[in-house]
Amino acid sequence: MINLFHKKLFRRFFWTYILVLMLPVLIIGIFSIQYNTSVMKQNSRESRKESTLRTAKLLDREFSELQEIAIQIGQDQDIRKVMFENDTVEWEYARWRALSQLLKINAAKKYPDEIMVYFSRTKEFLNASSYYDIDLFYQRYPLDQFDKEEFLNWIEHQDGSYTHVSTHDGKLHYLLYTRGIPILGGTSQGVVLMMIDWEKIASMFSNDMLSSERSIESIIGFDGQILYRSENSFREETSVFLQNQVFRKGERSYEEYINGTKYLVTTELSAEFPVIYVTAGAFRDLLFGVRTLWLNLFVALFFCLLFGGLLIFFFSRYNFRPIYNLFEYAESGDRKKQSHAYDGLSQVVDRLENLFDQNQKLEQSLEQQLPSMRYSFVNNLLEGLYPDGEDLSSLEDLYQVSFESDLFAVVILSIDDLSEFAGNNDEKSLNLIHFAATNVFNEVMSDIASVLKTTKRKRASYILCFHNDVLDPRA
């Protein structure tokens, strides 16, 4: 049975192997994750910059085409005649010719949903199919931001600007581009309007690794107006964040908390127009690969602990077994267990063998000297050589002297004449007599008393310490 010390030692073996197994995995795993996180962040920043730059160039090109279409419309002679022709017949003829020309332009368009021309002289709108007044315009585009009179006044005083308009209670969103048709020596009487659905703008933003339901894309004017934003960014906090981008011109990439979520924000100034293109992606999407690395690390640790723990247990027992055998042999001193302890720890076992041999010789020597030492102890005890009050119990245990009771008897054997004994060696004869007498006393008195002998010259004294049962009157 392994004692407590052995169990503690075995547990140290086991946990040491566990740490040796786990530490390299943890250190390498954490270092790899930190390194990959840093690399992925840097790569994402560069990728986002390039993506936003591509988007900005694409949108600039599309917006430039809008300008070119507006210039083309403004240079059309029939459209210009509608603005200032006073002859009714010529005006009507130019009016329908302008309708035909706008029909051709609309047929060739790719980007805007609808191209219209507003004539302030007649307060009419011309599209690819017909002329209509403000009431019909509002039936098609019921703008939330303006009433009819405000809208007419607004477009008459805008030139080359972009704005955001929404319709149907905010369900549909458009980027409205307006450009006045210039006239030399006079005030413009016409405005080109282009309605661009936000869904077409959304398709121009790059779908990269950060695109998700948390990504934010936006176009912001230098006046702080949000001209376009992705569908998932319609929150008050997001609006404040986007409007603040006007004050952060030049910061192409930075980190920002939006609605409690950390984002990587990338901005790009338009090279052609007074707008800022903004894209932001949540770091939780950016670091999806890092989360996968963390998951893989935990899975690896789990399997290391599961399968490695079993191997560690067996290896711990295998490597602990020689130590256990050594302790068992050292504690028991059983030579039968020597061969088990000798495996793997032979030098230690040899030292133990030497200690056991020395200890055995010492025990044998003490056993041989015990009668003499007992005799000396008893003799000193009888002669009162030990001081009063000294604790003699340890000496009694050492010399195997036991006084069971306080009832003693002393028998003194003294022989003055040894002439009757054969031989001339009196000392030898005396020792023989004492030996015989001692045996007789031990044989006769062993049942009732312990016999202790002491000799001095030719006299032998026998102390009889009677057993406790002798004192019992029923004995």
The amino acid that residue 182 corresponds to is P
Helix (H) or strand (E) holding 24: helix 4-75
Least confident of 37-51, 239-253, 332-346: 332-346
Separation CA 410–CA 21 (nearest Å)? 77
Burial class (CB in 10 A: 0-12, 13-18, 19+), 41: middle
For residue 455, tell me if it sits in a domain: yes
**What pLDDT band is residue 323 in, cutting at 50, 70 and 90?**
low
For residue 7, tell me if it sits in a domain: no
Name the domain boundary from 171, 192, 213: 192
Instruction: Reply yes or no on whether the pLDDT at 377 is more than 50.
Output: yes
CATH code where residue 154 lies: 3.30.450
| Per-residue pLDDT reduced to its tens digit, 156-172 | 877 668 888 888 777 78
| Per-residue pLDDT reduced to its tens digit, 142-156 | 888 888 888 888 888
For residue 118, tell me if it sits in a domain: yes
133 phi and psi angles, rounded to 5 deg: -95, -175
Name the domain boundary from 131, 165, 192: 192
What's the chain's average pLDDT?
Answer: 75
Domain count, the chain: 2
Task: Please give the residue range of the domain that contains residue 426.
Answer: 375-471
| Per-residue pLDDT reduced to its tens digit, 330-344 | 566 555 555 554 455
For helices 309-332 and 4-75, the axis angle rounded to 10 degrees is 160
Separation CA 82–CA 73 (nearest Å)? 12
Compute the average pLDDT of residues 413-436.
70
For residue 239, tell me if it sits in a domain: no
Structure-token pair, residue 468? 């406790």
Per-residue model confidence (pLDDT) at position 2:
46
**What pLDDT band is residue 7 in, cutting at 50, 70 and 90?**
low
Per-residue model confidence (pLDDT) at position 1:
43
Separation CA 71–CA 105 (nearest Å)? 12
For residue 463, tell me if it sits in a domain: yes
Separation CA 47–CA 281 (nearest Å)? 12
For residue 444, tell me if it sits in a domain: yes
For residue 122, tell me if it sits in a domain: yes
Name the domain boundary from 157, 174, 192: 192
For residue 426, tell me if it sits in a domain: yes
Separation CA 206–CA 208 (nearest Å)? 6
